[in-house]
Amino acid sequence: MIEIDGNRLNARIDAFAAIGATQKGGVNRQALSEGDRQARRLLAELGAARGFSIVQDPMANLFIRRSGRQDNLPPLLIGSHLDSQPSGGRFDGALGTLSALEVLESLEDAGIETDRPVVVVAWTNEEGCRFAPGCMGSMAFASGRIPPEWETKLATDGAPFVGELAATLESLPMADMVGLGFPVHAYLEVHIEQGPSLEASDIPIGVVGGIQGTRWLDVTVTGQTAHAGTTALAYRRDPLRALTAALSSLYETVMPADPDARFTIGRITVEPGSVNAIPEQVRCTVDLRHPDQGRLNDLEQRVASMIATEADRQRCSALISRSFDMPPCTFSNVLQQAIELAAKDRNLKSASMLSGAFHDALFVNRVAPAAMIFVPCRDGLSHNEAEYVEPRHAVAGCEVLAAAALRLAGNA
């Protein structure tokens, strides 16, 4: 058993929330900004003060390393991110990163030697709001390279990515440089749920089984524009009628038939968009999500065939293309079991669940077994300055992380 210091953890969460603090109690610590650099510096200083080694890679992913008995074994990696949304909460990311640091310090306090090294990570730019896409740090780590097209990226405030990355790297002169990507034994990440289900069921620990897949489609249905007053039904080729019929039937069937499916139409445009003309063309986006790749394929098929059928019926043509495709990720069973056992050891109730949002663990999972521990947040609120995690829940997440980490890092 390893005892964590819950007061120290919650005091650290407060200390980091002061960096980039906003009026309403949240944080604005966007990726590679001065606030982000300050938070990274504080994390590195806290680690260095305990004698841990401080390392960063060319994407400015920051690593705090505690040696193991067999120090050349691939390490257990634990952590999350320190960057935030522009009006973000103080727990999203920081909770997981500081819980990981707390585990490292608790191991040190108790004089526990682990077989493997244990490494805390703060990934660069998880949020993807100042520079898109999100999860750039973990993505580059998993692929072992920085995509060349990132070099010309500009921030939403106009700052060049390359310059901001260089300044961030330079702001940590005490850190040794390591290449992108290294062998990892396993990766664990604590994160707030960012949804309401744990709080609603009064369960402190979510064992995350995976992250649902997302697929975006662009749909175009083309007919023939004509006079609204003079064109009788038999002469109409109305693409809006075709699209609305298809969508109405999809709304009736997709989500009601499968509680894990998500089907959202977020944008529709109609051309020429004239009050007294039958439309020539309608376009819409489709956002499909499902934890199972096969079901995601089925859903895409269903959308395509329904739209084709209704387009046919109105003597229109339909064109569908994918604009984004993120396959579902399934986390390691072994790690999920380790988390479950750790919760049991601590007498904490846990429940299996899926993540609706992306996380760095999705990318790390491509190169090493990964899993996540969710803790409840008030009203399911996140990406909001009012985001709140009860101190006892922060402590619970950290205790489970510590117990699972000890199991995985080996302590023979």
Choice between 92 and 387, CB closer to Zn ion = 92
- Our measurement of the distance from residue 47's CA atom to the centroid of its chain's CA atoms, rounded to an integer in Å, reads 25
What residues numbered 84-103 form the site for Zn ion, per CB under 5 A? 92-93
Binding mask 300-319 for Zn ion (x = CB under 5 A): --------------------
Binding of residue 193 to Zn ion (CB under 5 A)? no
Q: How far is the CB of 191 from Zn ion (least distance, A)?
A: 6
Q: How far is the CB of 379 from Zn ion (least distance, A)?
A: 17
What residues numbered 389-408 form the site for Zn ion, per CB under 5 A? none
Choice between 29 and 290, CB closer to Zn ion = 29
Write out the two tokens for 67.
Answer: 């040696």
Write out the two tokens for 17.
Answer: 């929330």
Q: How far is the CB of 126 from Zn ion (least distance, A)?
A: 5
Q: How far is the CB of 92 from Zn ion (least distance, A)?
A: 4
Q: How far is the CB of 359 from Zn ion (least distance, A)?
A: 6
Q: How far is the CB of 141 from Zn ion (least distance, A)?
A: 16
Q: Helices 391-409 and 6-17 sit at what angle, rounded to 10 degrees?
A: 110
What residues numbered 267-306 form the site for Zn ion, per CB under 5 A? none
Choice between 302 and 359, CB closer to Zn ion = 359
Choice between 92 and 164, CB closer to Zn ion = 92
Compute how many residues bind Zn ion; rule: CB under 5 A: 2
Are 7 and 392 in contact by the 8 Å Cβ rule? The answer is no
Computed on alpha carbons and rounded to an integer, the radius of gyration of the chain in Å comes to 24
Name the residue with tokens 């210091």: 5
Closest CA to 376 of 204, 246, 249: 204
Q: How far is the CB of 357 from Zn ion (least distance, A)?
A: 8
Q: How far is the CB of 189 from Zn ion (least distance, A)?
A: 9
Choice between 80 and 168, CB closer to Zn ion = 80
Q: How far is the CB of 55 from Zn ion (least distance, A)?
A: 22
The CA distance from 117 to 53, in Å, is 11
Q: How far is the CB of 356 from Zn ion (least distance, A)?
A: 12
Chain residues in the site for Zn ion (CB under 5 A)? 92-93
